Structures are given as structure tokens and as C-alpha cells.
Amino acid sequence: MKRGCPMKYLCLIYSDERRIETMPRTEVEAVMRDCETVVGTLRTSGKLIAANRLKPTALATTIRFENGKPSITDGPFAETKEQLGGFWLIDAKDLDEALSIASRMPPARLGCVEVRPISE
């Protein structure tokens, strides 16, 4: 890894799907509008590579290998309080900048954001 070169960071957004389902529609819409604003700013600055919401975990399928053969089951890998709901792939000069960007992500207000460097 070269010093001074931007790195890619994956920001994994976790939240409680049940909480979001019970929130007033106006609050959910406000978070989505805020997302559009932040995404637009990051795109313009060249910091955003990709960002997407994920469909609910009820639509997930998990593949595990048992005795060398794939075993396919419906649903997420594990039952947790918060579920992976989306991601933002960003360019940042260092971890401090990546954390600064992640702290401005509106979905973080509904759960948490895990920031991980991409191995290139």
C-alpha cells in the first residue's frame, strides 16, 4: 500500500429492520432524502464509488458447505439485533477521512456503520 494514495473503504450499514418497519413514513423519507443529498455531494467530489440498499433479510439466501456439498437455506446467515441493510464503497485518503465520511451517512442514525479497508 502506497502512502498518500487514496484507499477504498467499504462502509457496511447495519440497522434493525423491525425498527425501520415501524418508524413513521415521514422519518424514513427524511433519512432517504438526506441520503440523496450526501450521496450527491460524495459523487460530485469523486469520493463515492457505489452505494446500494439491500432488500430485507427475509429475501436472503445463505449457502453453506456441509461435507463438501452446498446446503442452501432461506434467510440470513445469523439472527442478530441489526441486519446488513446496505453499503457505500468510498475512496478516502486514509481511515480518518473514511470515518468522517461514514459519520455523515444518514443510515448510521438508525444503527451503525462498519468501515473496512478494501484489500487491493
**Which residue range(s) make up the domain with 40?**
7-117
The verdict on residue 95 lying in a domain is: yes
The 10s digit of each residue's pLDDT in 85-99 is 999 999 999 999 999
Contact 3, 94 (CB under 8 A): no
- Dihedral Cα 106, 107, 110, 114, nearest 10 deg: -120
User: Does residue 52 fall inside a structural domain?
Assistant: yes
Per-residue cell: 106: 444518514
Identify the band that residue 79 occupies on the pLDDT scale cut at 50, 70 and 90: low
In-domain check, residue 50: yes
pTM for the model: 0.82
How confident is the model over 24-76, as pLDDT tens digits? 999 989 999 999 999 999 999 999 999 999 998 888 888 889 999 998 888 76
SS3 18: helix
Whole-number Å distance between alpha carbons of 3 and 117: 14
- Whole-angstrom Cα distance, residue 58 to residue 100? 32
71 in any annotated domain: yes
- Give the count of domains, the chain: 1
